[in-house]
Amino acid sequence: MEQYVIKGGTPLKGSVNICGAKNAALALIPAALLTEEPVVISNLPDVSDINILLDAIAAIGARVERINRHKVRIVGATVSQLSVDYGYVDKIRASYYLLGSLLGRFGEAEVAMPGGCVIGARPIDQHIKGFEALGAKVLLENGQIKTTATQGRLKGNHIYFDVVSVGATINIILAAVMAEGNTIIENPAKEPHVVDLANMLNSMGASIRGAGTDVIRIKGVDRLHKTEYTVIPDQIEAGTFMFAAAVTGGDVTVKKVIPKHLESITSKLVDIGCEVMEYDDSVRVVARGPLRATQVKTLPYPGFPTDMQPQMTAALTLAQGLSTVTESIFENRFKYTGELNRMGAKIKVEGSSTAIITGVKGLQGAHVSAPDLRAGAALVLAGLAADGYTEVDDIKYINRGYENFHGKLQGLGASIVKVESEEEIERFKKMA
Ligand code: UD1
C-alpha cells in the first residue's frame, strides 16, 4: 500500500503551478457527450477521479483519445449505451452527471444511485426534483436511478432549489440545455465550476445566462456542436498550497490561478496573520511569525469552501488562541480531527458541526490514515509542520484530487516521499 512519509519542519519556499480544477472537469466531460461532434478539453488534471470518469464514458461507447497527459478529445457520436455501471458511481459520485447529459441528449439514462460517504449522507432529492420539473420520470429501483423524458424530449421549466447544491445545479444545466423552451434555475450554486460548465456549453452553441449569480436562465437549443475548451484552475488545490505555506511558516507563490476564486481563502489567511499578495494569475503567501486564531464557517461560494475546511483546521492547530471552525455543508466532516489530535493538536468537536481548536506550540509526527481526499491533504500539511516523521496511509484518497502532490511539495523544499515498503521508509529516514 502506498504511503507518504514526511519529515516535518521545513518552511516551504518557491512557486508551484496549479492544475485544472477536478470538480470543473468532472462536469465538462459529461457535457462533451451532449454533441456528436468532437470536444477537446485541455488543462485536465491527471488525477484518479478524472481518469475513472473517462473510463466510464468510454465504457458506454464514447471515443476518448488522449492527446497528452492534460488534453483529451472526446467524441460522443458513438455512445451506444445509456446505462452506467455501478462500479464507476461507487468510485466517483460525480459519474451521476451522466444522468443529466444522457437524459438531455437521448431522453433516457440509468445510473447507479450514489451512496452516502464519510463526510455525510448526501441525498440527491434536488437532482430528482429538477429532472421531474423538466418532464422526466425518475424511478429508483434496485439501487439504480432510471430516468426517461416522458414526451421524448425534456421541456424547460422554472426550478427553485430548496438547498444550494453544486451537483444538482450542474445536473440540471446538463439536462436543460437541449430541452424544449426555457429553463430558469433559482437558488443555484455559484461555484466557479458551475460558471465553467456554462462557458463550455455556450462555446458549443448553448444559451445559458446568469451562471455564477442567483438565477440561471437557459434557452433550450436543438443541437450543440464541437468546441475546444480549457478547464479553469483548481481553487482547492491552490488553497491547499496556500495553507501549506501558512502552516510551515513559508513563502509560496501559487501560479496559474484565478485570484478572484481564492478570495475567501486569502481573507482567512490574512486573518490568521499571513501576508498575501495577488498578481494577475498568481498569489503569494508569506507566513512570518506565529499564526493567530480565528473563526470560520464553511458556506457555498463565495463563502469559505467546505473542501478547504480540513486544511484550515490543520493550520489552526498551530494558531495562538482559541479558534472555531463551523461546518455548515456536510454533517460529518470532522472525523479526521482525531488523527490531528494524535499528532498533538487540541481539537474538540461539539455536536457534529463545530470544532473548537486550542492552538498548540508544536505538532509531533505520527502514523495516521487519510479518511478522505481533503482530510488526507490536511494530514499531510500537519505532517509538514510537525516535529519528526509522519506516515500517512490511504493516499489513494489524496490521488483522487491532487496531481503529483508529493512532487509539488518536494519542489517547494518539503521532505516528503511516496513509499510502498518498510525498507523505503527506513531508507528515507536515514537520508532525510
Ligand atoms: C460538490 C463538490 C464537493 C464539495 C461540495 C460542496 C464536485 C464533484 N463535488 O459536491 O467537492 O464539497 O460540492 O461545495 O463538484 N444536498 C441535498 N440534496 C441534494 C443535493 C445536495 O440535500 O439533492 C445537500 C448535501 O447533502 C450537502 C449540500 O446539499 O449538505 C451541498 O451538497 P452539494 O453542493 O450537492 O455537493 P456535491 O455536488 O455532492
pLDDT in tens, 131-164: 999 999 999 988 899 999 999 899 999 999 999 9
- Residue having the nearest C-alpha atom to atom 37 of ligand 1: 167
Backbone phi and psi for residue 367, each to the nearest 5 degrees, phi listed first:
-90, 115
The model's pLDDT over 308-339, given as tens digits with 9 standing for 90+, comes to 999 999 999 999 999 999 999 998 899 999 99
- Cell matching residue 321: 488562541
Distance between Cα 294 and ligand 1 center (Å) = 26
Residue nearest atom 29 in ligand 1 by C-alpha distance: 165
Q: For residue range 345-394, list pLDDT tens digits in order.
A: 999 999 889 999 999 999 999 999 999 999 999 999 999 999 999 999 99
Cα–Cα distance measured from residue 231 to residue 71, given in angstroms and rounded to the nearest whole number: 10
Buried b (16+ CB within 10 A) or exposed e, 76-98: beebeebbbeeebbeebbbbbbb
Query: Average pLDDT over the chain, rounded to whole?
Result: 96
- pLDDT of 120: 76
In 70-160, DSSP assigns E strands to 71-75, 83-84, 108-112, 136-141, 144-149, 158-160
d(Cα 356, Cα 50) in Å, to the nearest integer? 35
What type of residue is 246? Answer: A
User: How sure is the predictor about 121, in pLDDT bands with cuts at 50, 70 and 90?
Assistant: confident
Q: What are the pLDDT digits (tens) for 47-102?
A: 999 999 999 999 999 999 999 999 999 999 999 999 998 888 888 989 999 999 99
Query: Domains in the chain, ordered, with CATH?
Result: 3-19+233-431 (3.65.10.10), 22-230 (3.65.10.10)
Task: Report the SS3 class of residue 97.
Answer: helix
124 lines ligand 1 (CB under 6 A): yes
> Residue 163 C-alpha to ligand 1 middle, in angstroms?
9
pLDDT on residue 143:
86
Average pLDDT over residues 178-191: 98
Q: Is the CB of 163 under 6 A from ligand 1?
A: yes
How many percent of the chain have pLDDT more than 70? 99
Is residue 241 within 8 Å of residue 265, measured between CB atoms?
no
Active site residue 274: no
Q: Quick one: which of 126, 92, 130 has its CA closest to 111?
A: 92
Give the model's confidence band at 397: pLDDT under 50 very low, under 70 low, under 90 confident, else very high.
very high
The b/e string for 53-69 (b: 16+ C-beta within 10 A; e otherwise) is bbebbeebebebeeeee
Mutate to test the pocket of ligand 1, among 240, 311, 329 (most ligand atoms within 8 A of CB): 329
Non-local CB neighbours of 233 within 8 Å, separated by 6+ positions: 18, 19, 20, 21, 43, 256, 257, 258, 261
The residue annotated as part of the active site, out of 58, 67, 117, 270, is 117
Substitution candidate for ligand 1 out of 48, 91, 122, 301 with most atoms within 8 A of CB? 122
Quickly tell me which residue has 496531481 as its cell.
403
All cell numbers assigned to 113: 444511485
Q: Is the pTM of this model over 0.75?
A: yes
Q: Can you give the pLDDT at residue 106?
A: 97
- pLDDT over 90 (residue 431): no
Report the nearest-CA residue for atom 31 of ligand 1: 165
User: Model confidence over 229-260: pLDDT tens digits?
Assistant: 999 999 999 999 999 999 999 999 999 999 99
Q: In residues, how long is the chain? A: 432
The per-residue pLDDT for 402 is 97
Contact (CB, 8 A) for 35 and 102: no
